[in-house]
Structure 1
């Protein structure tokens, strides 16, 4: 239990004591450095932060980007650069970067990762390699953040060709209809494993269990035995999903990439801005539901709406080309009114009204518990819209969770109990939230 002087009393929302900002900063710094690893294998130097010491010991794509946001909030810009360089060490000539990079430990750590390699990769399991999957493409924003605080033009020139090649791969390989929307081919690519909005695609209903596990594993096994031939997978259309959160992050990062191009006068700036606009337009056309005031994930070639209210129904409202009236409708009907999301520790990953909702610890995550990343993501939008009090509530909720339960993978939205991996680095995003709040409040 923290000593009394390490805690401050916040009277704006309730009488619960939380760790001071200074104490949070010290604990986040220790968390990241304790989980940090570097070395050399197979002629490659690597340097990254494990999301957690035991559960997630590998370098993960979007986790590395989260670590950059936290490291820059700590002022450790050079360390952030090392993380990004390591992430791109195994980049393919066509631009592809996998969602898991296996460095010193080269064997998959979970049964769910076994089929996430291309068949030929099994011949090279004992040297550094990558998975065959992607994850939400946050890396342009991560590099933009590093440049913002370091003003290191040399690093920008170093990374820009790699970034352009990576986003080019996504555009040419995952925008199957050329309408701007990217598709994922397995639930694990969204970064939100077992997300309930995918249940209709899998012909599953209700609380998660072994039957859901089998259905998801069969998707990954099918992809594996098809050799991750993307055109063939699209033709068969077994799991082609356009995730609202994934595509929101895609748009944000296309804009970040365009901003980086502008810094150095790169002529491709306009290409990425136009692609961001096209994706946003398609999200409005296909994902937004006026009656439900929500953005839904889409399923298959027919772009069928997956009408399940996960926390990602909010995500697209952060985009600058989404009309104000749409943003206000989503905010008023779901986030501010707390329709299905009214819990003591927001934001739950699934509406409490959904039959699949489970706030407890489970193998089947993202089906009810609160994850810090949702609060981190929405706080910036609320600050930009002048919703200072709502933004502060999200920040204060995260502070309470960390004070009560430490740095955990996810939390019970009713009790604040910590679940999943321990010493989990995503919760360190609270430090970036603190910085944002202070900047916005002057």
Structure 2
């Protein structure tokens, strides 16, 4: 990983041991864990961070499952996924947030100077009307790989099949295998800079105007009653995110594998759908001149030419030619084209106008998030880039040693920002295990 990799290896003695990191990750998960019963529902989940993110979030729960299984906590992981699908609608929909006992984050009640008992609880458990990256099939497959519990798979499989069918039927508007999101918050990467052109925000650095433009998108969807066909027709914010669709394709394959395990005949259908999605990702998102996979906007699939950290994501797909994978990695990750920093991988290329590595309300516009390293490590190991994969793991270990389990980190200094005791950074445990398996 060029100079940054050499620096990381030089500082290898300055990191916590793998055992210490695992112990701290376990402590953070259990500190943030919540369970109970409300209105006939049993719930058990982990808050991404106490106070700041108090609800059960869709892809956060899946990340927790990867960390829990890496720590050997398979039964706890099962409880998390059962809770995630507790309120699934008959048509298969699962919202990106499950509200179990609280309506507002703690910071809102603090702002209003309210005590918890002052906040009315005149609502029942419910889900949001939005979605998040659909990584649930991989999470369930990971649990099966660690437990070989076929009964568990058979219990969850009908729920998973309904969920992915709902996505295909309701978010693949054009029938090309690509899913659209209808607000920046659905990608899981709020304030992502590639969405700025869609929002008609051209000021580069984020500010209050960007906040209001995003708020207007959500208000628009609300006023449409979340009628997806009406929202699509209005074309206000219809984005095919590269990371979201990569995750979708991967999880269709994982779902097919779960079908095979359970003796379910629908596996081939999901494989065919995954193949169509992968072909469309390569056809519409890949830009040969820039060696990058871009997000798309609108009915005509217009490329959003902003180099966010997700330009790498589709390289993990099996159907992407090896030459393309090499071009993308060599151009952006292994050399110095915008992503060369002491603590990779930044969420936005350093030479993009919107780049901001500091703490901000407007996240995903520069800082390093552990999830990018976790995602890319899988590919690097498969493609025999063992040293580069090892460098990513070491970089994350250095960040946690320096700043603890934080929401995101300054890619130049390693200083931690955002939420504290943030569970996503626990993905480092899965990275450590993957690296050891590869080296053994």
TM (norm. structure 2) is 0.94
How far apart are 1:432 and its partner, in Å?
0.2
CA contact 1:106–1:129 (8 Å) conserved in 2: no
Q: Give me the whole-angstrom Cα distance separating, in 1, the residues matched to 2:25 and 2:193.
A: 31
* 1:39 counterpart (32, 36, 40): 36
Q: Find out whether 1:346 has 2:344 as its counterpart.
A: yes
- Paired residue secondary structure (1:51): coil
Counterparts of 1:24 and 1:339, CA distance in 2: 31
Does 2:124 align with 1:127? yes
* SS at 1:314 equivalent: helix
Aligned partner of residue 204 in structure 1, secondary structure: coil
Match of 2:430 in 1: 432
> 1:12: Cα distance to partner?
3.3
* Alignment root-mean-square deviation, CA: 1.4
Partner of 1:394: 392
Q: Residue 107 of structure 1 contacts residue 126 of structure 1 at CA under 8 Å; is this kept in 2?
A: no
- Report the alpha carbon displacement of residue 104 of structure 1 after superposing the two structures with TM: 1.5
Question: How far is the alpha carbon of 1:54 from its aligned partner?
Answer: 1.1
Equivalent position to 2:148, from 151, 157, 166: 151
Q: How many Å apart are 1:435 and its aligned residue?
A: 0.2
| Cα pair distance change 1:294/1:263, threshold 3 Å | same
Tell me if 1:169 matches 2:147: no
Q: Do the aligned partners of 2:357 and 2:365 also contact (CA within 8 Å) in 1?
A: yes
Q: Describe the superposition over 1:356-402 as per-residue Cα deviations: whole angstroms up to 9, x where unpaired.
A: 00000000000000000000000110001000110011000000000
User: Which blocks of at least 5 consecutive residues in structure 2 are unaligned?
Assistant: 1-6, 109-120
Q: Deviations over 1:214-254 (max 9, x none)?
A: 00000000000110000000001000000000000000000
CA distance in structure 2 between the aligned counterparts of 1:215 and 1:11, rounded to whole angstroms: 40
- Report if aligned partners of 2:369, 2:409 keep a CA contact under 8 Å in 1: yes
Q: Is the 8 A contact 1:244 1:316 kept in 2?
A: yes
Q: Is 1:106–1:127's contact at 8 Å kept on the other side of the alignment?
A: no
Q: 1:26 to 1:423 in 2, by over 3 A?
A: same
Structure 1 regions of 5+ residues with no counterpart?
A: 1-9, 112-123
Q: Indicate whether 1:77 and 2:74 are aligned.
A: yes
1:196 alignment partner in structure 2: 193
What is the aligned residue count?
A: 422
Distance in 2 between residues matched to 1:323 and 1:388, nearest whole Å: 20
Partner of 1:411: 409
Corresponding position of 2:236: 238
Match of 2:58 among 58, 61, 68: 61
Q: Cα offset for 1:59?
A: 0.3
Q: CA deviation at 1:16?
A: 5.3
Identify if the C-alpha distance between structure 1 residues 316 and 110 changes in structure 2 by more than 3 Å, giving closer, same or farther: farther
Q: Secondary structure at the match of 2:9?
A: coil
After TM superposition, the structure 1 = structure 2 runs for residues 299-378 of structure 1, keeping only pairs within 5 Å, are 299-378=297-376
